[in-house]
Amino acid sequence: MHVGVAKEIKQQEYRVALTPAGARELVQRGHEVLVEQGAGIGSAFADEAYERTGATVVSVDDVWSRSELLLKVKEPIAAEYSLLREGLTLFTYLHSAADEPLTRALVESGITAIAYETVETDRRTLPLLAPMSEIAGRLAPQAGAYHLEKPQGGRGLLLGGVAGVAPGRVVVVGGGIVGYNAAVIALGLGAQVTILERSVDRMRHLEEILSGRVSLLMSSSLQIEESLKEADLVIGAVLIPGALAPKLVTRDMLREMKKGSVLVDVAIDQGGCAETSRPTTHDEPVYTVEGVIHYCVANMPGAVPITSTRALTNVTLPYVEAIADYGSIEAVQRDPALARGVNVVGGRVTYEAVAEAHGLDYTPLDDALVAGVA
Ligand SMILES: NC(=O)c1ccc[n+]([C@@H]2O[C@H](COP(=O)([O-])OP(=O)(O)OC[C@H]3O[C@@H](n4cnc5c(N)ncnc54)[C@H](O)[C@@H]3O)[C@@H](O)[C@H]2O)c1
């Protein structure tokens, strides 16, 4: 199969969807790997590093037109919509429940779109979201601590405190992968950490692995309101897979928060879990509402591409190999986890939460495949 690797053109996105190590694996399996010129530069991989693996470096037009399977990191942006086409399988982060123009562009193009973030195992884990969640979670307290500094407009508080001065309070809403990793780093910085979770099972697990070093509280509207009043840094880390994030933090709650406190809404790629959140970029990562600094960068791992690119290829490669070896239809028929990743096929939305988010018709994947629209 012709497997393409497109260069990311989203602002401040330096990751690439395949490392030279991954390219070599595909070449050794007999596939032709087409890498867009300069695609790896931001992650410190020169074109020659790919060429040495047997991959071919090509132009942007060639990578989109010659590939049968195209690998990307982030969703196509408007400038790329005209390149989407029937016969192409796109494998990337899509977050289409939060992006109606993109969903419509995917539907109208006839492309097969498989979203990294909705590939889901039978045990309900999200293997392709996990490493980026680990990274975003670990970055969140770092970003929050920086913006709490006075010159950045923050309260002017050191999260860890010092001997004789109390540490800052970090409230993490959602104790999944982002939440756990954020808590670990916040603890490492010396902060006092509370995690609000909805799942009792998950809380039991967190209690075991964090051995009493964090406060674990059942998440409810009232509890969020009360915890926020005390917080110096709030980290939004909830997820309802494939759906828009629930708006758990209201403007009224923000009014009750300390001035100059910081909200890092990691869930922004699913629309954000605060009423007042809107996506920002690494160029202008923050804005202030009701005296609370909002950090809402939708591609946080893009800030550390050397780590992120490797972590991403580690988990995507087995799926890429399956699609390349069997073709997208047979690959999704063989693997229910990959099948759950299919968001759009032949003009139909095959992921229910995405269809619901935009009021579009939902077609179960099997029906879409049987209809021969793929
Ligand atoms: N901004 C970025 O760069 C970036 C990077 C990676 C992940 N993310 C996003 O971060 C979010 C979290 O991802 P994750 O991998 O940790 O997901 P996860 O599924 O591991 O964890 C989500 C947790 O939220 C909990 N939850 C759901 N509803 C809740 C509620 N009302 N109150 C409290 N907890 C609730 C769930 O029980 C679960 O434990 C997702 O939206 C993901 O897309 C963003």
- Going by their DSSP bridges, the two strands 112-115 and 342-345 should be labelled as antiparallel
Average pLDDT over residues 90-114: 96
List 95, 99, 147, 265, catalytic entry: 95
For residue 242, the model assigns a pLDDT of 65
Tokens of residue 166, six digits = 């109390």
Residue 59 CB partners (closer than 8 Å, separation 6+): 36, 37
What is the per-residue pLDDT for 372? Answer: 62
Digit-coded pLDDT (tens) for 321-348: 999 999 999 999 999 999 999 999 999 9
Distance 222 CA to ligand 1 centre (A): 20
CA of 133 to the centre of ligand 1 (A): 8
Residue 362, beta-bridge partner list: 349
Contacts of 109 (CB under 8 A, 6+ apart): 81, 84, 85, 86
* 65 pLDDT higher than 60: yes
Give the Å distance between the CA of 31 and the centre of ligand 1: 35
> Which residue, judged by its Cα, is nearest atom 18 of ligand 1?
176
Considering 99, 232, 269, 335, which one is annotated as catalytic? 269
Q: What is the pLDDT of residues 268-284, one digit of tens each?
A: 988 999 999 999 999 99
Would the pLDDT of 118 be above 50? yes
Over the chain, what is the mean pLDDT?
Answer: 96
Contacts of 312 by beta carbon, 8 Å cutoff, 6+ apart: 15, 17, 73, 128, 131, 132
**AA identity, residue 126:** L
Determine which helix (DSSP H) or strand (DSSP E) holds 90, and give its type and residue range: strand 89-92
- Per cent of the chain over pLDDT 90 is 92
Q: Which residues lie across from 114 on neighbouring strands?
A: 91, 342
In order, the DSSP letters of 14-34 are ---S--HHHHHHHHHTT-EEE
Evaluated on CA atoms 203, 206, 212, 215, the torsion sign reads negative
Q: What is the pLDDT of residues 298-320, one digit of tens each?
A: 989 989 999 999 999 999 999 99
Q: Please tell me what DSSP assigns to residue 81.
A: G
Tell me what percent of the residues of the chain surpass a pLDDT of 70. 99
The span from the CA of 329 to the CA of 68, in Å, is 12
Whole-number Cα distances in Å, 169 to 52, 90, 262, 293, 326:
50, 42, 11, 15, 51
Tokens of 112: 């097969």
What are the phi and psi torsion angles at 172 (to 5°)? Answer: -105, 120
- Residues touching ligand 1 (Cβ under 6 Å) are 129, 132-133, 136, 173-179, 196-199, 202, 219, 237-240, 245-246, 248, 266-270, 298-301
> ∠ CA(352), CA(342), CA(281), 5° rounding?
85
- The pLDDT of residue 13: 87
User: What is the spatial distance between Cα 257 and Cα 295, in angstroms, rounded to a whole number?
Assistant: 16
